[in-house]
Amino acid sequence: MKVEYRVYLGIGIFVLLVTVVYFFWAKEYGGAMMLFGTAGLGILPALYLGWWKRRMEPRPEDVEDATLAENRGPVGAFPDHTIFPFVLGVGAFLTALSLVFGAWTAVIGLSLIVFAATSATLESRRGGAI
């Protein structure tokens, strides 16, 4: 957690400094508030990871003299190839397209989303093609 904490904190502090420079240089409130929100998107995960870093025992990635055997963990079974992420994307696209063309594309899109989510779940539990 040490590395992730530092990366997010660095991003948040950098964007906060850019926010201060932008605010005093451009004197625009809208852009400065958006940059301030972006800095929060870096600082909030850093605070969360820092909170967990103090409460957890160090991971092998955080210890200087860790061995490869300590870092090895279980590797699960993953499907080799699948079409269902593509089908899920097409369903999400058709559902979003329903805002333009009407509710009939939402029916097709939502049915594709349900089909792809169900099929991907069944495929991952079986460890292969359906």
* Residue 20, CA distances (Å) to 26, 32, 41, 84 in order: 10, 8, 16, 45
Look at 32-41, 89-98, 109-118, 121-130 and tell me which has the smallest mean pLDDT.
121-130
73: left (phi over 0), alpha (psi -120 to 50) or beta: beta
DSSP element (H, E) containing 12: helix 2-26
- Residue 122 has a pLDDT of 86
Q: Could you tell me which residues come within 8 angstroms of residue 5 by beta carbon, excluding any fewer than 6 positions away?
A: 46, 49, 50, 53
- Residue 76 has a pLDDT of 67
Q: pLDDT tens for residues 39-89?
A: 999 999 999 999 988 888 877 777 788 787 777 777 766 667 889 999 999
